[in-house]
């Protein structure tokens, strides 16, 4: 169990002309015992970053340390990490007992009886005692998942590295395992790096979330932080389901003119000072249907039971809104909406950097709930315009 | 057709018309599985199989209980249509001897010698070849090897070499004053009687067969290696396995079915060894020390015309190969990889 530090880690594949930059100078500190989720779209470099931490890939430049131990040049087997693979990678020719005990057999000098005891203990912990004699192919996806977890746990490693471990499970099992994994990680208190492309999973599981895009780290923060206070439009768009509505608007003093009838008077004009256009973002849940407001043409209504998803058009712009389940506008109808300025996001049209983020219903941050809060400065990643972000951070802390 | 013609839109092009015609022809062909159509399609294969495989297999077994006295002349069937006369004669003039052919083997010292020679070559050659093939396959599979395609082709080339040609080259190289002995003596080693000592002449055969078949088996093993998921090696690496442990705990168990295939087919192939000893060592020289079972069967059947005895020998060979294969399958296949 230890702190994991990535210091300007860079990973390039290939050489010469067809070099691919997979990870670009990532700085990241994963605290002792923390559950950190690396999230991003496919090809964003999250898995490569994890594999660099595991030692399955060499870094092109930069340093990786576990605690005070520099592991950059060490092979995976010398790093004392355990990994759970997306397709589990259980040894097909070994039964569950041997799969679980294999790591101990190779990496420790424990007597066979002791290994067997530990295998039994882990199997009991995961509720797979009755599967010990079976081969992986005789197990269901969920059972294989547990064996893969057990294989990681039994090693009592410095860190757990998990590469989309739940993505091969069906939706119901996935949410069940999600909770179980969190509980387990809490009990074991092992530093964990978890890779997923699923932002819901990231939000639900991570102590902190590291959002990556195009090989660069965009932002690191708690679920609340990356949702309410994203550093740029990419993070705002990636985090949250359904996605935030973002469109262009022209700035005329305090007035924003967007697609269709969208027109809004800002009471606070500082964020758009000196800009001619701005990107406006409104979360689907911040759209309130009102009698008099900005007109929307209804396309589709998806009833979810507890709420309805409204898909509509604002001029040429697609807009999604989460509305009350009792409210059922029909396709083709026209509705009006309004929103709180506090809930509004504004992004720089050139850089995508956040100019203004969500300020409504501020939840006071409780420092105790997050381990080692002293590292607040690391919550903003390499995203552009970190200066203005820090300013807002001070506002938040007040 | 009516629905197609009534479809709105532009007139069908020539290609469309051709497609319609093809489709309507397709509809005329009955679906196999209904009635005898399926069997009609299978008939050519059945006929060829029956005449050239099934019949010889059965007839050889039948022959093994008889003594062959010459080509048959007895009439089995006679049909006189008035204009033409059909007469079916027996294939051979046979004399029933019961199990005498099988019994004769127990006292046939040349058969014992052939059996010993073949077994000797098998025991030495198959392990060497499989080990070499595996070594080459693992080397070629390693990520750092360049020109992989070239090496693979060069190593697999011997299998396409002409049997007579390559055997002749071996014969020339292994002469007392041949290339191999020249090289040996030029580095100060004694010359080896490759073709005149009974031990070394068998080793020459081992070398020739190994040279020819290693590349072929390497290709099969390489295909097996490339089928092993990379993640298993990564999982083993994370679990703390060294390179050798990965080979021992991942590669070998994963390759087990392929290795088994290679062992069984090589064993069968070596037991059927014929051309190399015939060309390199002539008739099993020196002193019958390289005569193989198949060579002995050939001699019995087509030189001595003891067809019944040769058939019995053939069935004994089949029995030996079957037992060996069964043992290999049982030993190697007990764990499902």
Could you tell me the residue ranges of all domains in chain B? 1-63, 65-98, 103-332
Which of B229, B237, B239 shows the shortest C-beta gap to A56?
B237
Distance, in Å, from the CA atom of B174 to the CA atom of B163, rounded to the nearest integer, reads 16
- Residue A190 · residue A1 · CB < 8 Å: yes
pLDDT > 70? residue B336: no
H or E element at residue A281? strand A277-282
Distance, in Å, from the CA atom of B105 to the CA atom of B262, rounded to the nearest integer, reads 31
- Residue B129 · residue B213 · CB < 8 Å: yes
Of the candidates A177, A179, A168, A102, the residue with the CA atom closest to the CA atom of residue A146: A177
Which of B239, B242, B337 shows the shortest C-beta gap to A93?
B337
- Residue A143 · residue A65 · CB < 8 Å: no
The shortest C-alpha distance from B236 to chain A (Å) reads 8
Of the candidates A47, A11, A51, A53, the residue with the CA atom closest to the CA atom of residue A28: A53
- In tens, the pLDDT along A210-257 reads 999 999 999 999 999 999 999 999 999 999 989 999 999 999 988 999
Calculate mean pLDDT across residues B313-336. Answer: 84
Which of B234, B237, B337 shows the shortest C-beta gap to A92?
B337
| Residue A111 backbone dihedrals phi, psi, to 5 degrees | -70, 155
Instruction: Report the pLDDT value the prediction gives residue A363, as an integer from 0 to 100.
Output: 57
Distance, in Å, from the CA atom of A122 to the CA atom of A128, rounded to the nearest integer, reads 9
pLDDT > 60? residue A58: yes
Best residue in B235, B248, B255, B258 to probe A by mutation, most A CBs within 10 Å? B235
Cβ contact B238–A56 (<8 Å): yes
The shortest C-alpha distance from A319 to chain B (Å) reads 38
- In tens, the pLDDT along A345-386 reads 999 999 999 999 988 776 555 444 444 434 444 444 444 444
Of the candidates A331, A327, A326, the residue with the CA atom closest to the CA atom of residue A298: A331
Calculate mean pLDDT across residues B100-118. Answer: 88
The shortest C-alpha distance from A14 to chain B (Å) reads 14
Cβ of residue A19 closer than 8 Å to a chain B Cβ: no
Instruction: Report the pLDDT value the prediction gives residue A376, as an integer from 0 to 100.
Output: 41
- In tens, the pLDDT along A124-180 reads 988 899 999 999 999 998 899 999 999 999 988 999 999 999 988 888 888 888 998
Of the candidates B62, B40, B58, B38, the residue with the CA atom closest to the CA atom of residue B50: B58
pLDDT confidence bin for A114, thresholds 50/70/90: very high
Distance, in Å, from the CA atom of A235 to the CA atom of A224, rounded to the nearest integer, reads 12
Give the residue, A119 or A384, on which the prediction is more confident.
Answer: A119
Instruction: Report the pLDDT value the prediction gives residue B108, as an integer from 0 to 100.
Output: 87
- Residue B160 · residue B206 · CB < 8 Å: no
- Residue A379 · residue A219 · CB < 8 Å: yes
How many C-alpha atoms does A148 have within 13 Å on its Cβ side? 30
Cβ contact A93–B241 (<8 Å): no
Cβ contact B235–A83 (<8 Å): yes
Nearest CA in chain B to A78: B240
Which domains are seen in chain A, by residue range? 4-228 (3.40.50.300), 244-356 (2.40.50.140)
Cβ of residue A106 closer than 8 Å to a chain B Cβ: yes
| Residue A28 backbone dihedrals phi, psi, to 5 degrees | -155, 135
- In tens, the pLDDT along A194-206 reads 999 999 999 999 9
Nearest CA in chain A to B256: A93
Instruction: Please give the DSSP secondary-structure letter assigned to residue A293.
Output: S
Instruction: Report the pLDDT value the prediction gives residue A375, as an integer from 0 to 100.
Output: 40
Distance, in Å, from the CA atom of A120 to the CA atom of A114, rounded to the nearest integer, reads 10
ipTM of the prediction greater than 0.90, yes or no? no
Average pLDDT taken over every residue of chain A: 87
pLDDT > 70? residue B239: yes
Count of CB atoms within 10 A of residue B176's CB? 11
Query: Per mean pLDDT, which range of A239-253, B5-19, B50-64, B312-326 is the poorest?
Result: B5-19
Distance, in Å, from the CA atom of B173 to the CA atom of A391, rounded to the nearest integer, reads 86
Query: Per mean pLDDT, which range of B99-113, B156-170, B308-322 is the poorest?
Result: B156-170
Of the candidates B243, B295, B247, B302, the residue with the CA atom closest to the CA atom of residue B274: B295
- Residue B137 · residue B218 · CB < 8 Å: yes
Percent of chain A with pLDDT over 90: 67
Domain B103-332 has CATH 3.30.70.20: no
- Residue A166 · residue A202 · CB < 8 Å: no
Distance, in Å, from the CA atom of B224 to the CA atom of B220, rounded to the nearest integer, reads 6
pLDDT confidence bin for B335, thresholds 50/70/90: low
pLDDT > 90? residue B107: no
Cβ contact B234–A151 (<8 Å): no
pLDDT > 80? residue A333: yes
Calculate mean pLDDT across residues B69-95. Answer: 74
Helix, strand, coil percentages (3-state) for chain B, rounded to 5, are: 70, 5, 25
Give the residue, A385 or B187, on which the prediction is more confident.
Answer: B187
Average pLDDT taken over every residue of chain B: 84
Distance, in Å, from the CA atom of B299 to the CA atom of B294, rounded to the nearest integer, reads 9
Q: Tokens 């058939």 correspond to what residue?
A: B311
Ranges of beta strands (E only) in A324-389 are: 334-338, 345-347, 354-356
Instruction: Report the pLDDT value the prediction gives residue A203, as an integer from 0 to 100.
Output: 93
Cβ contact A89–B234 (<8 Å): yes
- In tens, the pLDDT along B7-41 reads 566 777 888 889 988 888 878 776 656 677 778 88
Instruction: Report the pLDDT value the prediction gives residue B202, as an integer from 0 to 100.
Output: 85
Distance, in Å, from the CA atom of A317 to the CA atom of B78, rounded to the nearest integer, reads 94
Burial category of A352 from C-beta neighbours within 10 Å (exposed 0-12, middle 13-18, buried 19 and up): buried
């Amino acid at each position: 169990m230890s702190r994991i530090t990535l210091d300007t880690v860079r990973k390039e594949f290939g050489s010469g002309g067809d070099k691919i930059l997979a990870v670009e100078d990532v700085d990241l500190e994963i605290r002792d015992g923390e559950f950190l989720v690396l999230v991003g779209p496919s090809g964003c470099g999250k898995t490569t970053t994890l594999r660099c931490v595991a030692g399955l890939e060499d870094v092109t430049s930069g340093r990786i340390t576990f605690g005070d131990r520099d592991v950059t040049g060490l092979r995976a087997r010398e790093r004392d990490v355990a990994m759970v693979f997306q397709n589990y990678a259980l040894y097909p020719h070994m039964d569950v007992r041997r799969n679980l005990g294999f790591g101990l057999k190779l990496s420790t000098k424990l007597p066979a009886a002791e290994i067997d005891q530990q295998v039994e203990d882990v199997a009991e912990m995961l509720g797979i005692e009755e599967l010990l004699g079976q081969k992986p192919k005789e197990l269901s996806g969920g059972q294989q998942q547990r064996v893969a977890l057990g294989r990681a746990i039994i090693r009592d490693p410095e860190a757990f590295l998990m590469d989309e471990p739940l993505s091969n499970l069906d939706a119901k099992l996935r949410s069940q395992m999600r909770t179980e994994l969190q509980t387990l990680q809490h009990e074991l208190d092992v530093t964990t790096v978890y890779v997923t492309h699923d932002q819901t999973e990231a939000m639900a599981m991570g102590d902190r979330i590291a959002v990556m895009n195009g090989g660069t780290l965009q932002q690191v923060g708690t679920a609340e932080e990356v949702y309410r206070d994203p550093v740029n439009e990419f993070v705002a768009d990636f985090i949250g389901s359904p996605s935030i509505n973002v469109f262009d608007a022209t700035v005329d003093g305090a007035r924003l003119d967007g697609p269709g009838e969208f027109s809004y008077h800002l009471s606070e004009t500082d964020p758009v000072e000196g800009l001619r256009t701005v990107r406006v973002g409104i979360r689907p849940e911040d759209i309130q249907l009102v009698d008099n407001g900005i007109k929307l043409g209804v396309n589709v209504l998806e009833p979810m039971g507890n709420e309805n998803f409204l898909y509509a058009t604002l001029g040429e712009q697609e807009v999604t809104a989460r509305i009350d389940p009792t409210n059922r506008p029909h396709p083709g109808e026209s509705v009006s909406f309004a929103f709180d300025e506090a809930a509004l996001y504004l992004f720089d049209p050139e850089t995508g950097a956040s100019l203004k983020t969500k300020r409504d219903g501020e939840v006071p941050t409780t420092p105790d709930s997050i381990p080692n809060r002293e590292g607040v400065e690391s919550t903003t990643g390499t995203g552009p315009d970190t200066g203005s972000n820090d300013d807002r951070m001070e506002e938040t802390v007040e | 057709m009516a629905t197609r013609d009534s479809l709105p839109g532009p007139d069908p092009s020539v290609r469309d018309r051709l497609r319609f015609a093809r489709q309507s022809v397709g509809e005329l062909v009955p679906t196999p599985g209904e009635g005898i159509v399926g069997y009609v399609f299978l008939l050519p294969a059945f006929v060829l199989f029956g005449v050239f495989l099934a019949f010889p297999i059965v007839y050889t077994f039948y022959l093994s209980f008889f003594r062959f006295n010459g080509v048959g002349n007895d009439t089995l069937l006679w049909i006189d249509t008035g204009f033409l006369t059909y007469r079916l004669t027996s294939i051979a003039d046979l004399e029933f001897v019961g199990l005498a052919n099988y019994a004769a083997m127990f006292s046939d010292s040349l058969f014992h010698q052939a059996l010993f020679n073949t077994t000797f070559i098998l025991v030495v050659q198959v392990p060497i070849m499989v080990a070499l093939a595996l070594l080459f396959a693992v080397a070629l599979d390693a990520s750092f090897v360049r020109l992989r395609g070239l090496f693979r082709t060069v190593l697999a080339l011997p299998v396409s070499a002409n049997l007579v040609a390559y055997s002749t080259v071996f014969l020339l190289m292994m002469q007392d004053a041949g290339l191999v002995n020249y090289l040996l003596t030029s580095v100060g080693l004694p010359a080896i009687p490759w073709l005149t000592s009974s031990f070394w002449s068998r080793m020459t055969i081992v070398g020739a067969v190994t040279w020819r078949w290693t590349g072929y088996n390497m290709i099969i093993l390489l295909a097996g290696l490339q089928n092993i998921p990379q993640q298993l090696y990564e999982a083993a690496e994370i679990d703390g396995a060294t390179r050798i442990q990965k080979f021992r705990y991942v590669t070998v168990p994963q390759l087990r079915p392929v290795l088994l295939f290679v062992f069984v087919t090589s064993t069968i192939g070596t037991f059927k060894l014929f051309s190399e000893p015939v060309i390199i060592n002539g008739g099993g020289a020196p002193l019958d020390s390289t005569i193989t079972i198949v060579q002995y069967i050939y001699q019995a059947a087509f030189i001595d015309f003891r067809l019944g005895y040769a058939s019995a020998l053939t069935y004994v060979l089949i029995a030996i190969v079957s037992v060996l294969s069964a043992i290999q399958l049982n030993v190697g296949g007990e764990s499902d990889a």
